[in-house]
Every structure is written in C-alpha cells, then in structure tokens.
Amino acid sequence: MRNILLVEDTITDGQFIKQTFSEINKYVNIEIVNNEETAKKYLQSNPSFQNAIMADLIIIDLMNSCLKFIEFIKSDSNLRRIPVIILSSSSDNEYINNCCSLFANAFIIKPKEKERFIEIINAIDNFWFKQTRLSSIPK
C-alpha cells in the first residue's frame, strides 16, 4: 500500500483526487486533512515507533501560503525524507522559488480543466509510485 497524506482545504478537490487515484491505482490509500495543524498531528502521531512512516508522499493543496508547513516537514529529521508535492493555483515565480528553496520536492500549478487534473494525478502516480525509489518503500 502507498499512503498519501493530502492536505486539502477544498472538499470537492479532495474527493476528486481520491476518486481519481482509486481508479488508476488500487494500492493507494489517501488520508485527507484540511489544515496544517491536523497534518502535523497526523505526521507526529507515532514518532516513538521508528518504522511508523505515516505517509509515503505528502500533497499540499491549500489556498494560503504553505511555506511554514514545508519548512516544518523539511527541517524534521524523520519527516524530511517524505516527498512533498505542492499543488497550487498560484503561478507566482517568487512563491514557486520560495517553495523550492525550502526543498518542496515538486511544484505543480493546479489546473482548472478536469482532463489536465486527471493527467497530473496519473503523472504523480507514475512518477512517484511506479518509477521513483522512495525512502519509505524498500523494493
């Protein structure tokens, strides 16, 4: 099973992402939380148990800036190994650069068209779960 933590403040988008993943990869389990605080609690829920990797991949899709949250993940010695993908309606270069400077693993501009959104979800699945070696998943 691959576990995605999706930090999503738009209910319909969360449902859409979950539904699309379930159609393309039945081995993906998605946990949706709607804000950073709940996400932090989720990620830290069992820190004493070393093998308890809470997520193989984190996708952040929030309306407001998520720079502080990226910094939180990427400065934590256990959590920083988890790839973080930013989905954002912002195409502001400075914001993209800031996310990448804090070591977000990828920045994706959120599309308005459904077809493009499906294409993106397929590419995330192919790239991160079929091609890349993740630190959490020994082969």
Partner 1 sequence: MNKDNCINILLVEDSPGDVELTREALSHGNIIHQLDVACDGEEALSFLNKQGKYCNAQTPDLILLDLNMPRKDGLEVLKEIRTHQKLKSIPVIILTTSNSELDIFKCYDNYANAYFVKPVDLNEFFDTVAAIEDFWFNIATLPIIAN
Which parts of this chain interact with partner 1 (CB under 8 A)?
Answer: 74, 77, 80-81, 83, 91, 93, 96-97, 99-101, 103, 105-109, 119-120, 123-124, 126-128, 130-135, 138-139
- For 4, the token pair is 């995605």
Nearest distance in Å: CB 109, partner 1: 5
- For 139, the token pair is 């082969």
The phi and psi torsions of 68 (rounded to 5 degrees) equal -65, -35
Nearest distance in Å: CB 59, partner 1: 13
Query: CB 10: neighbour CB atoms within 10 A?
Result: 14
The answer to whether the beta carbons of residues 16 and 117 sit under 8 Å apart is yes
- Nearer to partner 1 by C-beta: 40 or 74? 74
Nearest distance in Å: CB 129, partner 1: 11
